[in-house]
Amino acid sequence: MQLTTQPTGTPVTATYWMSHAWLGTHVEPGVLLDVAGGRIAGVRTGIDAPPPGATTLRGLTVPGLANTHSHAFHRALRSTVQVGSGTFWTWRETMYRTAARLTPDTYYDLARATYAEMALAGITAVGEFHYLHHAPGGTPYDDPNAMGEALIAAAAEAGIRITLLDTAYLAAGFGAKPDRHQLRFSDTTADAWAERASLLKGDGDQALIGAAIHSVRAVPAGQLSTVAEWARERAAPLHVHLSEQTAENDACLAAHGRTPARLLADHGVLGPGTTGIHNTHLTAEDIELLGSSRTGTCMCPTTERDLADGIGPAAALQGAGSPLSLGSDSHAVIDLFEEARAMELNERLRSHVRGHWTAAALLRAASAEGHAALGRPDAGVLEPGAPADLTTVALDSVRTAGPVPRLAAEAAVFAASAADVRHTVVAGRHIVRDGRHTRIEDVPGALASAIAALHGHG
C-alpha cells in the first residue's frame, strides 16, 4: 500500500474550453476556464471555439459533485444483499461479516477502486464516515489509524478529495456494550476516541479530517459533547446518523424520554457545522430544531429505499433552514444524478405534487452544499478562486440527446446517469478523460479483484 496525500502532484496551470457550462443559474455556451495553482483563475464567456492549447470538454460541465456520505467497504455488499428479504437489521448482519474480513491492505484496495468508481461518476470529493478502526477483537493496530490512513491514501490514488469523518462508535445500543462485531469500531470512551483521532493529519487540500457520532445509540449521551467539542475546536465538520430507523427513535425515547434530535440538541451537537445523515423519522419539533440551528441534512435516497428506511422530510427540513446535501451511503449504486432526482421524485410520491426543487437546486445539493458539509465552503461553483473541480456530462447519449442546450441541466438531473460522465477534473488535473480513468486503467477489474479477495473467491 503506497501512502500519499498528493493526488494531483504539483499545482496545475491549464485552460479548459467547455461547450456548455452550468454557471449556477443557467447554462452558458462557449465558456473558457483558466486554472492556476489548482484553482479557477478566470471564467470567460462567449468563446465560440476552443483556442489553441485549450482542453476541450464537450457536453455540460458542472462543478465537481460531492458525495457527502460514504461507507467505502459497503461497495462489497452490492448484489450480495439483494438476495432474499429482510430489514435494515438483517442487512446489518451481512455488513458486519464483511467488515470483519478487512485489513488495512484489503481496505485500501477496495476503497481505491470504489473511489475510482466515484471519479468515473463525476464525484470529486467524498465524505467517508469511517468507523472500522481496529483489528478484529478490538486490538489497535501498531499504527492506531492504519485503516483511516488507508482510506486517505486510496482517495489520493483514485484522484479525488476526501474528508475523513473519523467516527465515535462506543456502544451496541443504549446502555449496551459493543458486541463482538462492533469491537473493531470502539475506542471504549469518547476521550480515547479523541486521543486517537487527534493523531490523524490532513493536508488541508486533498484530505481533511472531520468527526462523526455514529448515532445516539452508539455514543452514550454523557459523551456526545466530547465529540462535538473536538470538532468545534478544530472547525471540523461533524456528521451523525440521525433517526434512520423508527426502532432507534423508540429506544431513545425509552432510555432518555426524548427524541434523538432533542438529545443531540441538549448535548450541544446541533449547529451549522453539523450534518445529520438521513433524518428520516422526525417529529415537527425535530425539524424545527434542525432548521433553526442550521444543522445540515444529507439525504441518501438510493440507500434509504434499498434498506426500506422510508422517505425523509427533505422539503420540510430545507424550508425550516436545514441545507440539503446528497450521499450514496451503502453504494447500492454510485450515481449522484440518481440521488438528486430521487430526492425530488420521492417527495412527489409522498405529496402527490410535482416540482419541489428545480434542476439548479438539485445540482447545488449535489455539489456546493455537499462540499460545504465536508468542510470546503469555497467549492462547488465555477467561479474564480474556487477549486478547479469539474465534471462534464454528455449531451449526446441515448438518455440526454434531444433537449435544447438551455435545458441541459434538466437533462442531466432528470435523465442522465453516472455512465454519461465524460470528464472529471480535480484541482485542474484530468482524472477521467473521455469516460476512462487516467490513473487506474481497469476500474471494473480493480473492483472485482478487491471484492473477490475480500470474499475469498475469484
* Sequence-separated (6 or more) residues with CB below 8 Å from residue 317: 279, 282, 287, 290, 291, 297, 324
Catalytic residue among 329, 335, 389, 420: 329
Q: In what order do the strands lie in the sheet with 274-278?
A: 65-70, 123-130, 161-168, 207-213, 238-242, 274-278, 296-299, 324-326
Can 329 be counted among the known catalytic residues?
Answer: yes
377-387 per-residue burial string, b: 16 or more CB within 10 A, e: under 16: eebbbbeeebb
Tell me how far apart the alpha carbons of residues 240 and 165 are, in angstroms, rounded to a whole number.
10
Q: Of 238, 239, 247, 216, which is closest to residue 309 (Cα–Cα)?
A: 247
Can 278 be counted among the known catalytic residues?
Answer: yes
Catalytic residue among 241, 267, 278, 331: 278
Catalytic residues: 278, 329
